[in-house]
Amino acid sequence: MEEQVFGGGRNEAARQARPVWQSIKRGLFGKCPNCGEGKLFASFVKTVDRCDVCGEEIFHHRADDLPAYLVVVIVGHIVVGAFMGVEATVTLSTWQHLAIWVPLTIVSALALLRPTKGAVVGMQWALYMHGFGGEDDAIEGHPEA
């Protein structure tokens, strides 16, 4: 693997490049982004504090609301596109539309939330973001830093 230099000031350090797509894929399947063996989630969307297999610390990730935003965009495009296609070809009442699209939207969003969060955590690990590089996640020059 090639080494990348991160930083630019007093915290400059050479690090080994981590495989971004492999880490995202591992997270997508709920596996540790480091080893690919340990589980990433302790419950539905609560991550484990550390991998049981390799010991990689996961607790400091900062996925925040990004997975939910991504799920809304993906599900919204799919459901709205499907709705418009059905509406253009079939005549359904409002209640029939509600009976189809509301459950489909809810189930799709719930099904995509966990894999999306895993992928975001995997990406953060691969890019040494938010504590995955061993340093504090502080912004230089910030008054609270």
Residue 33 CB burial class (10 angstroms; 0-12, 13-18, ≥19): buried
CA dist., res. 89 & res. 83, Å (int): 10
C-alpha pair distances (Å), 33 with each of 11, 12, 20, 21, 117: 24, 24, 9, 10, 12
Percent of the chain with pLDDT over 70: 81
Nearest-angstrom CA–CA distance, 40 and 58: 8
The pTM (predicted TM-score) of the whole model is 0.79
As given in the structure block, the two tokens for residue 68 are 């939910």
Q: What is the reported pLDDT for 10? A: 42
Q: Which residues, 6 or more positions from 114, have their beta carbon under 8 angstroms from its beta carbon?
A: 30, 41, 44, 45
Mean of all residue pLDDT scores within the chain = 86
Kindly state the average pLDDT of the residues 88-96. Answer: 94
Range 104-135 burial, b when 16+ CB lie within 10 A, else e: ebeebbeebbbebbbbbbbbbbbbbbbbbbee
pLDDT tens for residues 34-74? Answer: 999 999 999 999 999 999 999 989 988 888 899 999 999 99
CA 33-106-79 angle, to 5 degrees, is 95
CA torsion angle 117 139 126 31 (round to 10) = -30
